[in-house]
Structure 1
Amino acid sequence: MNKPFMILAALAMLASACSVSKAARGQRNLLSGTWILNDISYENSSGNFQSVLFNDAKDICFEGSDWFFRDNNSTGRYTIAPSSLCNGGDRYIRWSVIDGSPNQLQFKLIDEKNKDISGGLGYRLNISSLTANEMTLRSNSTVGDDRVTIVYQFTKKQ
């Protein structure tokens, strides 16, 4: 075989290996825009919980927060309203949709100049449902010996 053909074949294999599935691209397009996090609940648990989410703020601070996803450069932000319990403001993120069963929303914190500020630490949330107007994400956590599922309910801001 000649060398240019081998290089072209290797590049084609690399591009196909890095491509995102059609379903993940569709979810990525649906995610684009602004969402309101309306409710956070806990499944597989008994009693009341209070948790710190994404190493940032208490769960109550996230209720009513705005989440913006820009699909053309995979950046966005979430905004927490300031209160006596919450350090409000914008938190910038880099995000993607990961193929899987189920697909996952993955994000990490960045600064205003799109530089990683989390030391590579990121978060993955299972995409339970996603339509043009509603989204449900889930993440698993452990409390003592029990596995608890955190459920995030969003609606699209019009």
Structure 2
Amino acid sequence: MKNLVIGMFTIGMIFTSCNNTKVLADNEKLMRGDWTITDVSIDGINESYVDITVFDQAKSQCFEGSSWHLVQNNATGNYSLNGGGDCPNETTKIKWFVTESNGQYYFNFKKIYEGERPKNVVDGYKMRVASNTGSSLILEQELMFEGKPISVFYTFSK
């Protein structure tokens, strides 16, 4: 009887693990392709008083209109900022992947600079997948601003 219970538990864990792996792969499949950030909004502070720097690169509003190219089969890609005003005009290579934690899915990426190997880059960025339909995508990045938690929402469209 004890072996039966252990066997059933093991089968259940394998099924759950396979199911989570499939959902993870489906999320990644929906994310591949070319995207444009159509809106960046901040929750938790009054946006009119502050424009925060995101991804250690540029002000949040510089990412509106940015183009993102995500390749699934090797999890590479890039994003390009359009420049203008105080915004840089540059393209950044990335390595990206989707993870799951407590039933939530997260889009993770790390910047890859010339001559770097992705496996040697330890710092990166993590955003919760708030919505992913395959044609629209909303990612939420949780940050601290002046000691208070805020959320930056990035709305993407294909």
Which residue of the partner structure matches residue 46 of structure 2?
A: 46
- Of 144-153 and 110-119, more deviation after overlay is shown by 110-119
Give the strand-richer structure, 1 or 2. Answer: 2
- Of 120-129 and 38-47, more deviation after overlay is shown by 38-47
Contact 1:109–1:118 (CA under 8 A) maintained in structure 2: no
Contact 1:109–1:117 (CA under 8 A) maintained in structure 2: no
TM-score where L is the length of structure 2: 0.80
Which residue of the partner structure matches residue 57 of structure 1?
A: 58
1:111, distance to aligned residue in structure 2 (A): 2.9
Q: Structure 1 residues 38, 47: CA separation in 2 closer, same or farther (over 3 Å shift)?
A: closer
CA distance in 2, matches of 1:53, 1:146: 16
Which residue of the partner structure matches residue 9 of structure 1?
A: none
The number of aligned residues is: 140
Q: Structure 1 residues 87, 80: CA separation in 2 closer, same or farther (over 3 Å shift)?
A: same
1:35, distance to aligned residue in structure 2 (A): 0.5
* Aligned sequence identity (%): 26
Give the helix-richer structure, 1 or 2. Answer: 2
CA deviation map 1:69-111 (0-9, x unaligned): 0001000000011223122121000000001231000000013
1:145, distance to aligned residue in structure 2 (A): 3.1
The residue matched to 1:30 in structure 2 has which SS?
A: helix
CA distance in 1, matches of 2:150, 2:122: 25
Q: Structure 1 residues 128, 58: CA separation in 2 closer, same or farther (over 3 Å shift)?
A: same
CA distance in 1, matches of 2:106, 2:60: 20
1:47, distance to aligned residue in structure 2 (A): 5.0
CA distance in 2, matches of 1:118, 1:53: 22
The residue matched to 1:103 in structure 2 has which SS?
A: strand
Contact 1:111–1:117 (CA under 8 A) maintained in structure 2: no
The residue matched to 1:45 in structure 2 has which SS?
A: coil
Runs (4+) of structure 1 moved beyond 2 Å? Answer: 44-49, 111-119
CA distance in 1, matches of 2:88, 2:119: 18
Structure 2, unaligned runs of 5 or more: 1-16
- RMSD between aligned residues: 2.3
**Which amino acid in structure 2 is aligned with residue 107 of structure 1?**
F
**Which amino acid in structure 1 is aligned with residue 23 of structure 2?**
A
Which residue of the partner structure matches residue 145 of structure 1?
A: 147
